[in-house]
């Protein structure tokens, strides 16, 4: 049975789609009054596209920006009231081993390692979510109340809404992904030695944004190479 449509078409969204087909560079991302990500029109840039002379506006500068970047920076710098708990019963040669395995949220782990391993790590390898629309939310197993943990670790706002969640409906957006990756990449830099190296696995969907983040955090002169792996 065909379901009846219970709402009229979103004409604004349709107009944005039409503009995106003609001026894709003028359609970006922003947040509405409820804080939800949606596609929006950069009217200053659109005015320039439709003008035969330079349109006055904000001073241009080269930088990577997105809705939520300031919150991501705050998440990177905010202290946490946590510590690492040894698990001797699950360890092998606990007192003599030179290896360390940490289980938990990777943002928390990076913060906890800052003081002990600051500028001492030779190599870091990360394999972040690829922003496919359903790979941001992790299965968490907290000893404390999950909501309390999320609030204390700056993963939800005052209303209990998760800050860095990527539901399938938001798979086309990049801002949530950038906000999740940014603080982790910043903290990883603090751990690396001057001759240390960071390896990142990523697919085509976010490789450009990942390169942009790394250029901002590490400097473009520190980029070495991009290895392409053909899966099939």
The DSSP line for 86-97 is --GGG-SSTTT-
Cα gap 144→149, rounded to integer Å: 7
Q: What is the tens place of the pLDDT at every residue in 64-100?
A: 888 888 888 888 888 888 888 999 999 999 999 989 8
Give the global pTM.
Answer: 0.71
Phi, psi (rounded to 5 degrees) for 199? -105, 135
Q: What is the tens place of the pLDDT at every residue in 140-168?
A: 333 344 555 455 445 566 666 655 554 44
Q: What does 140-173 look like in DSSP terms, one character per residue?
A: ---SS-HHHHHHHTTSB-TTS-BSS---GGGTT-
Report CA-CA distances (Å) from 32 to 20, 23, 35, 47, 67.
19, 22, 5, 22, 11
């Amino acid at each position: 049975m065909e379901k009846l449509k219970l709402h009229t078409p979103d004409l604004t969204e349709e107009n944005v789609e039409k503009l995106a087909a003609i001026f894709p560079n003028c359609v970006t991302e922003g947040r509405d009054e409820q804080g939800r990500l949606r596609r929006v029109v950069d009217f200053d840039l659109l005015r320039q596209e439709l003008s035969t002379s330079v349109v006055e506006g904000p001073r241009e500068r080269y930088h990577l920006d997105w809705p939520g970047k300031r919150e991501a920076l705050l998440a990177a710098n905010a202290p946490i009231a946590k510590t690492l708990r040894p698990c001797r019963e699950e360890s092998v040669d606990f007192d003599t081993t030179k290896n360390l395995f940490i289980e938990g949220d990777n943002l928390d782990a990076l913060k906890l390692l800052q003081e002990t391993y600051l500028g001492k790590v030779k190599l870091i390898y990360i394999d972040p979510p690829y922003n496919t629309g359903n790979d941001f939310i992790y299965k968490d197993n907290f000893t404390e109340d999950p909501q309390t943990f999320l609030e204390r670790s700056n993963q939800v706002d005052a209303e209990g809404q998760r800050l860095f969640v990527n539901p399938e409906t938001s798979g086309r957006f990049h801002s949530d992904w950038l906000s999740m990756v940014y603080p982790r990449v910043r903290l990883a830099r603090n751990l690396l030695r001057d001759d240390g190296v960071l390896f990142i696995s990523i697919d085509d969907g976010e490789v450009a944004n990942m390169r942009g983040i790394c250029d901002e955090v590490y400097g473009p002169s520190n980029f070495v190479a991009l290895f392409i792996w053909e899966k099939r």
